[in-house]
């Protein structure tokens, strides 16, 4: 059996993203989707990684003029794992200034988590104890999807009056939505001016040393 050729970290991530997208959607991502997921400035960078993977025998182009003409070779097929960018930390307590830029990635097995990743999937590290009633602890990673419409009861990353927080989204009939802590030490949060939902939680990751 042929051994897997050596890959750079980014080539590995691109291959796994293509494998995951193909597994979930039945077709591979386009160059535009690859570039968007990894934050490449243009499709050219995505195309360069594709050419490198083709040269190593892991991808083939069945239909060169089709946007979704990529196919995994035998060696390129593997369990779908994906690198999800970690966009800093978010307070699970009182709202604070916006969280910082990306500070790395977490590699996850999508089939184990039972989620479908998209180019809008990201993670945040939890800081605080306001969500312990939902078993979300300080130091956990919450995996979220940007652009998913929140439903009442969803855990969301939100900007409330331009400050970020992780809370439960609550929508009651006839009333504007608000945010609910899952710890009685913290109050409900009602926006004075603006409530922007930046992501809906789809998975929770915990380090081994974290405890309830």
Looking up tokens 């081994």 gives: 208
Cα(84)–Cα(134) distance, integer angstroms: 22
192 to 68, 91, 189, 195: CA distances (angstroms): 46, 19, 9, 9
Q: What is the DSSP string of 45-67?
A: HHHHHHHHHHHTTSEEESSTTST
Distance CA 153, CA 168 (A): 6
Task: Tell me the C-alpha distance between 197 and 98, whole Å.
Answer: 13
By annotation, the residues acting in catalysis are: 130, 167
């Amino acid at each position: 059996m042929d051994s897997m050729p050596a890959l750079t970290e980014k080539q590995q991530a691109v291959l796994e993203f293509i494998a995951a997208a193909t597994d979930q959607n039945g077709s591979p991502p386009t160059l535009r989707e690859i570039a968007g997921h990894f934050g490449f400035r243009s499709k050219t960078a995505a195309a360069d990684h594709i050419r490198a993977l083709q040269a190593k025998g892991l991808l083939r182009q069945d239909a060169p003029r089709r946007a979704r003409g990529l196919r995994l070779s035998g060696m390129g097929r593997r369990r779908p794992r994906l690198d999800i960018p970690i966009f800093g930390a978010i307070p699970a307590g009182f709202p604070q200034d916006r969280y910082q830029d990306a500070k790395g990635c977490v590699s996850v097995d999508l089939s184990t988590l039972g989620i479908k990743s998209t180019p809008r999937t990201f993670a945040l590290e939890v800081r605080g104890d306001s969500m312990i009633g939902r078993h979300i602890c300080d130091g956990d990673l919450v995996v979220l999807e940007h652009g998913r419409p929140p439903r009442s009861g969803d855990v969301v990353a939100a900007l409330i009056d331009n400050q970020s927080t992780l809370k439960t989204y609550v929508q009651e009939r006839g009333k504007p939505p608000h945010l609910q802590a899952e710890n009685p030490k913290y109050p409900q949060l009602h926006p004075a001016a603006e409530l922007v939902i930046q992501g809906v939680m789809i998975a929770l990751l915990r380090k081994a040393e974290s405890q309830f």
